[in-house]
Amino acid sequence: MRNRRRPRRLIATLASAAVLVGLAACSTETVTPGIRPNRPADAALPVQSPETDPAKLALDPTSLPGYRPATAEGDGVYSRPLTDAEGSVRWKVLDGNNQTIDPYEPDRLIAFGDPVTYTDPAVKGVLTFRGNNHRTGGAYGTADVLAKRLQIVWTKEIGEVRGEGSYWPGAGWTGQPLLVNWPQQTKAAMGLDQKLVDDPNFVEVIYPVFEGKVYRLNLADGTPTKDPIDVKFGFKGTGSVDPRGYPLLYAGQGLNDRNGTVGYWRYRMFDLIQNKEIFFLSGLDEGAPRAEWGAFDSSALINRQTDTLIEPAENGLIYKVTLNTRFDPAAKTVTLDPEVTKLAYAGPDSVKHGIENSAVAYRNLMFAADNDGMLFCWDVNTLQVLWMRNVGDDTDATLALDATDEGVFLYTGNQVDHRGANGGERITNIRKIDALTGAQVWQYDVPTYYDPAVNGGVLGSPIVGQGSIGDMVIFNVARTTAPREGDLVALDKKTGGVIWRRHLANYSWSSPTLITGSDGTQYGVLPDSAGTIHLFDPNTGLDLSTLDLGKNTEATISAYNDMLVVASYDRKIYGIRIT
């Protein structure tokens, strides 16, 4: 839903087994250690494959464990049974004019490779929410960390908007800035200052924010590289820059009310040469299951090998767009000629349908969860829903995927929303799910406060540990022991047991970001609702230092080497150095 963040309390439950109930945290900031039986002996990061050929990556859905054929129900509607529950998921495929396509036969084979292959090798940076198709990044490169301190280097004043009965200053959830070290030919085509074109270290900050503007800044000093693009209506989620290094930005509108002026809902595509919008998807789509709400908070994935964009929407549709891109650096032009296909789906109890989190992709399998609490997998090629399970409540936070020798797994957490409104159990559920089958591996529960306007629970995506912290997954949970408080909890990937639990005096909606030092040491950074950025040790949960930004900072931090960027409710974008 529109305004949410979540609280929690604790129980770890193995897939088929017992439930462990955690002790209530005290009201002060504390770290409670647990056990760490699976700490890696080797701190080396896992080897990732450079393979990008869809023909070699794509999985045959019929070969997946537990595959069940779909049932044709007529009029282009198909169904499959839910995972571990009664009822079925139903779906159909629509064209751009909302005509049913049956059978749907894709014109190209799509599959995503390992996260390192998401962007073209010539492009460096953070180009989508959490940086890749597994949603496990958010930081590029390494930082020389000696003092373990955060220092504000520059600030950029930005605006605010009032609408929908609320006040939206600066940037909010998820609001992760995009950081791009462009190929030289792209910089030249965009007409940037020649000094920037010639500087191989130049990184551009691209930041869609609440006031309906897209800011373009120099990461080094915060100075504008181009005038802001003003579309009038605000962005809540995170945009996506084309991973081929093309001068294209894709960003969804999260607000349609600007100081009393009501406009259209749009998912917008921008030409960064002309600095203007060149195409949009309408959120109030006649083919949508949810007709009254058309926001786009999801950060799109672009499959660069096939020129295809995938964007879930809050109207209950998933858009698959063949972009038909043409970029001519010499002529300084970029064009799109999009062809739109839509997947419409419904679970047995679907009411809201809307997807606010950003899709995760493993090869040709894609994953998301929705406002009704349905987590599901679909094949991006055939647009069939392969499995769906009920996770109990609204899930806004983007899933994270971990492909390991033991299997392919999703980490997810919900919030207390519908259960709180209906007098149900006020518990946030953190889960590990088998991505190929939808089966639950373990569950960890956290008691959580309910507020109809600002939900408690998991609103941030987790850190999926690699290397020296490869045994843990770190979740941020809002509004736990008290309405203003929260917790960070590190769980053992294998068992769901507690490695450490950090109680926060001020809850957070942000996703924690992992920074890697030049010596391989890893650091976590997390802003909170009081405006404090915590620089913490992910091995222990203990703060190494903090930085006060003054006001609520619910956006997620991006990092490029030693520079961090985030915006706060203080109506500023901050450039911050880790030293």
Q: How far apart are CA 136 and CA 562, in angstroms?
A: 19
Q: How far apart are CA 335 and CA 323, in angstroms?
A: 9
Among 554, 478, 565, CA closest to 515: 565
Q: How far apart are CA 331 and CA 225, in angstroms?
A: 21
| Sequence-ordered list of residues with C-beta below 8 angstroms from that of 425, at least 6 positions apart, any chain | 419
Q: What angle do CA 346, 348, 349 make, to 5 degrees?
A: 95
Tens-place pLDDT, residues 200-244: 999 999 999 999 999 999 999 999 999 999 999 999 999 999 999
With tokens 């964007």, the residue in question is 311
Among 398, 129, 319, CA closest to 240: 129
Q: How far apart are CA 179 and CA 558, in angstroms?
A: 7
- Tokens representing 343? 């997947």
Sign of CA dihedral 285, 288, 290, 291: positive
pLDDT at 284: 96
pLDDT at 455: 84
- Tokens representing 496? 């769901």
Q: How far apart are CA 182 and CA 504, in angstroms?
A: 38
% of residues, the chain, pLDDT over 70: 95
- Tokens representing 145? 């960390």
Contact 572, 209 (CB under 8 A): no
The residues that bridge with 309 in the sheet, in sequence order, are: 302, 321
- Tokens representing 264? 């259209």
Tens-place pLDDT, residues 44-63: 999 999 999 999 999 999 99
pLDDT at 17: 31
How does residue 163 score in pLDDT terms, banded at 50, 70 and 90?
Answer: confident
Among 48, 47, 64, 46, CA closest to 364: 64
- For residue 22, the SS3 value is coil
Contact 538, 524 (CB under 8 A): yes
How does residue 445 score in pLDDT terms, banded at 50, 70 and 90?
Answer: very high
pLDDT at 333: 98
The residues that bridge with 310 in the sheet, in sequence order, are: 301, 320
Q: How far apart are CA 352 and CA 418, in angstroms?
A: 11
Sign of CA dihedral 236, 178, 460, 435: positive
Q: Tell me what the mean pLDDT of segment 379-390 comes to.
A: 98
Q: Tell me what the mean pLDDT of segment 282-286 comes to.
A: 96
| Sequence-ordered list of residues with C-beta below 8 angstroms from that of 74, at least 6 positions apart, any chain | none
Q: How far apart are CA 556 and CA 561, in angstroms?
A: 16
For residue 177, report the phi and psi dihedrals to the nearest 5 degrees.
-70, 155
Contact 496, 462 (CB under 8 A): no
345 residue type, one letter? Y
Q: Which of 257-266, 368-377, 415-424, 555-564 has the lowest mean pLDDT?
A: 415-424
- For residue 449, the SS3 value is coil
DSSP 497: -
Among 22, 174, 46, 48, CA closest to 490: 22
How does residue 5 score in pLDDT terms, banded at 50, 70 and 90?
Answer: very low
Pairing of strands 543-548, 532-536: antiparallel
% of residues, the chain, pLDDT over 90: 90
Please, what are the domains in the chain? 11-36+111-578 (2.130.10.10)
- For residue 130, the SS3 value is helix
Contact 263, 233 (CB under 8 A): yes
Q: How far apart are CA 168 and CA 386, in angstroms?
A: 38
19 pLDDT more than 70? no
Among 500, 446, 444, CA closest to 15: 444
Contact 307, 370 (CB under 8 A): no
- Tokens representing 39? 């700490």
pLDDT at 14: 33
pLDDT at 420: 83
Q: Tell me what the mean pLDDT of segment 193-197 comes to.
A: 98
Among 372, 366, 427, CA closest to 395: 372
How does residue 7 score in pLDDT terms, banded at 50, 70 and 90?
Answer: very low
DSSP 115: G
Contact 329, 189 (CB under 8 A): yes
Q: How far apart are CA 246 and CA 224, in angstroms?
A: 20
Q: How far apart are CA 485 and CA 25, in angstroms?
A: 10
1 pLDDT more than 80? no
pLDDT at 28: 62
Contact 10, 490 (CB under 8 A): no
27 pLDDT more than 90? no
Q: What mean pLDDT, rounded, does the chain reach?
A: 94
Q: How far apart are CA 342 and CA 110, in angstroms?
A: 16
CA distances from 259 to 212, 254, 447 (A): 11, 14, 37
- For residue 419, the SS3 value is helix
Q: Which of 298-302, 303-307, 459-463, 481-485 has the lowest mean pLDDT?
A: 481-485
How does residue 70 score in pLDDT terms, banded at 50, 70 and 90?
Answer: very high
Among 577, 557, 559, CA closest to 568: 557
Contact 112, 532 (CB under 8 A): no
| Sequence-ordered list of residues with C-beta below 8 angstroms from that of 328, at least 6 positions apart, any chain | 334
168 pLDDT more than 90? yes
- For residue 278, the SS3 value is strand
421 pLDDT more than 90? no
21 pLDDT more than 70? no
Residue 402's Cβ-side half-sphere holds a number of Cα atoms within 13 Å equal to 27
For residue 467, report the phi and psi dihedrals to the nearest 5 degrees.
60, -125
DSSP string, 290-327: --S-----PPPEEETTTTEEEEE-TTSEEEEEE---EE
Among 37, 11, 31, 43, CA closest to 492: 37
